[in-house]
Structure formats: C-alpha cells, structure tokens
Amino acid sequence: MNTLATMRIGGRPIGDGAPLFVVAEIGLNHDGDPARALALVDAAAAAGADAVKLQSLRAETLVAPESDAGQTASLAHVDAPSLREIFARFELDEAAHRAVAERARARGLAFLSSPFDEAAVDMLVRLGADALKIASGDLTHHRLIGRAAATGLPLIMSTGLSTLEEVAAAVTCAREHGARSLALLHCVSAYPTPSDQQNLAAIRTLATVFGLPVGLSDHTTEADGIAVAVTLGACLYERHVKASDTDEVIDAAVSASPAALARIIATAAATRAMLGDGVRRAQPAERPNHAGSRRGLYAARDIAAGDVIAEADLVALRPERGVPADCWRGLAGTIARRAIAAFTPFELADLEADDAPADVTRPAQETTA
C-alpha cells in the first residue's frame, strides 16, 4: 500500500499509508455559471471529498480558430461545430475562481485547478491555489509544465493519451523547473472509458518507474474500478462531480452525484481497511481462537520426577496450555522437575533455560486498551 514518495496538499498527507485523497472535479459541469460552481463545491463537501478542482481556460488560448479550409478541432464526446465556441461557454473569470476558492476553504476543502495557459498559472498563484494539475492533453506542453512547476506549488500530472516515454519527459521537465512535490494520475482520456480499457495495472507501473505518489482520474460510468485502484496503490482519486443523478451537464456520463461519490469514498476506505498494513500478525478477531486452535505439549504417559523426558513422552494436543508445540526440543532429553500425569500439559517452568533457546516461550499476545 505504501507509495515510494509522499506529498501534502492543503495540509493533507498523500501516500505512505495516508487516507485516499479525493478530488471532486467540477471541470466544466458548472456550465459557465459561477453559482453552479459554488453549488458543486457544496456537493463535493457533502460527499466527503478532500478537494475541488476547476479547469482554468480561455478558448482563444486553447483552440485554434476555425479556418475556411475546414481545419477544425474535434472531440469524440462533444458534438459541436466549433470547439472554440464550446470552451468559451465554460470560461470563468478571476472573480469566479476566487469565489470558488473561498467557498472551498470555508467548507474545509483544498482548491485545485488545471491551468490551460501561463496566465492561468499566474492567476491561480494569486488566488493561493493549494495545487496545480496538468491535464492529460497538456502532458507534452512542456512550457506550461515548466511554468506550473516553477511556482513551487504541488503539481499533479494526468497521463491520459500518453506513452511511458512521454510521462518520463514530462516528469523530467517538471523537476528541471523546480517541482519538488509531484504526483501522477493514471488516466484514460475517453469519456466514458470502456471498462475493459481501464488498464488499472498502469497505476503500479507508474509508481514503480517514477517513485511518485500515483492515483486515478476515473472517467468510467460506474466507477467500479475504485477497489482495484486502491489495491494497486492509488493514493489520489479524481472524479467529476454533478449536483444530482439527473443533472444533464456536459460530463454527466462520467460524473458522480454527491451520494454516488460518497459511496465511492466509502468503498475506497473499506478496501484500504481490508488490505491492512501488510504486517503478518495475528489479528484481534483471532485471539479468542488462539488457545483452542493451537497445540500445546502434553505428557504421553505418567512421568515421575527425575525421569528423563524422551521425545516419545511428548504429544501435541489442543488446546495450547503451558508450552507451545514448537518448543518440544526444549523438553526432549531434559530431567522432569516434577511428577506429570499422562495427558497433563507441560508448563513453561518445565523447560530448562540452558537447553532452550532464549526465544522459546509462548508468543506474546497483543492487548487492547
């Protein structure tokens, strides 16, 4: 479960056994309405998220203008003649960003955003953003990565559409420009992502190769991969949020209502609890069964004081009382210090300290307060 590195966002630890850090992606689901953006902050808080995230964009610096030659941009999940016009509809000005940041802090949430140009980076610094995120589409936009990294803010980079070599180049760029707190999100940039193309094993690959905290940006419809992601070591999770199950926003198909996001968070927490810390030890629930399931050493015959105890005089039986079964070497060949009736358990005092290893004692049992 532990990652190879840790970071902090908004005072919360990420990685190294810390709780899953959940980012509620407002994205474009505000539909260009600052009031709806604020309502989505409240929805995220109600669901139990740790942070909210905007997309800080200007259409004119994101999408080339349409040309007479028909050189238009397109996205598979957006049915529109002009992506530039579509994105223009979702622009939020600095005042709206400030309002979202303030509402987030009032609700105990960290405030993040994905800047889509250098001016947006500067604005988010002015607003005191807790972290910046590079969108998957900008993983090869090294000038933007460099500008974001140079702020010194925690930086998350999403890896949709990419090869491992492209991720490596982006990580190198970020580090060369000063990034000291860096994380990666495994992502499939399909909206929605087919269940059989989630490729969640890449979470472990990214963590192993780069030694960074790694999470999942989830674009599936059902979010049914959360338990697998946590099992593979995801320590961050990003999911679009919408006001309700019936909210017809642009990313509705890959968004969670507050109730649905709360269920995802609960599933993640339950999964982490089931995984435990990986230390091989008896669990508290096992304690009542310890003595009844384990064997102790009993006398196979009546033994008189002064008799030499032979291996054949020892029988391992349940329940474990006195000397555990694995301590038979400490008894075989010793002189009986007392009379022991057949099928009576040996006691720890029957062991000769000179003949028994120092650690041959009943294993200490954990206690609870």
Total-model pTM? 0.87
CATH number for the domain spanning 160: value is 3.20.20.70
In a domain, 153, yes or no: yes
How many other C-beta atoms are found inside a 10 Å radius of the C-beta of residue 334?
Answer: 17
Q: Over the stretch 21-33, which tens digit does the pLDDT of each residue have? A: 999 999 999 999 9
Percent of the chain's residues with pLDDT above 90: 86
Q: Is residue 359 part of a domain?
A: no
Q: Are residues 128 and 182 in the same domain?
A: yes
Residue 352: the pLDDT is: 74
Q: Over the range 219-242, which residues count as b (16 or more CB within 10 Å of their CB) and which as e?
A: bbeebebbbebbbbbbbbbbbbbb
pLDDT at 303: 98
Judgement on whether residues 243 and 310 belong to the same structural domain of the protein:
no
Boundary (domain end) residue, out of 275, 299, 326: 275
Q: How many domains does the chain have?
A: 2
Q: pLDDT by residue (tens digit) across 70-103?
A: 555 555 455 555 788 889 999 999 999 999 999 9
Domain that holds residue 297: 284-350
- 355 to 18, 323, 335, 360: CA distances (angstroms): 46, 14, 11, 10
Pair (271, 293) in one structural domain: no
Specify if 369 maps to a domain.
no
Residues 84 and 117 in one domain: yes
* 191 and 313 within one domain: no
Mean pLDDT of the 186-193 span: 97
- The verdict on residue 327 lying in a domain is yes
Here the contacts of 80-89 (C-beta below 8 Å, separation 24 or greater) are: 84/59, 84/60, 85/59, 86/59, 87/57, 87/59, 87/62, 87/63, 88/59, 88/60, 89/31, 89/32
Whether residue 230 is found in the same domain as residue 90:
yes
| C-alpha span between 272 and 261 (Å, rounded) | 17
Q: Is residue 138 part of a domain?
A: yes
- Per-residue pLDDT of 296-330, as tens digits, reads 999 999 999 999 999 999 999 999 999 999 999 99
Hey, how many other C-beta atoms are within 10 angstroms of the C-beta on 192? 15
Q: How many helices (H) and strands (E) does the chain have?
A: 11, 13
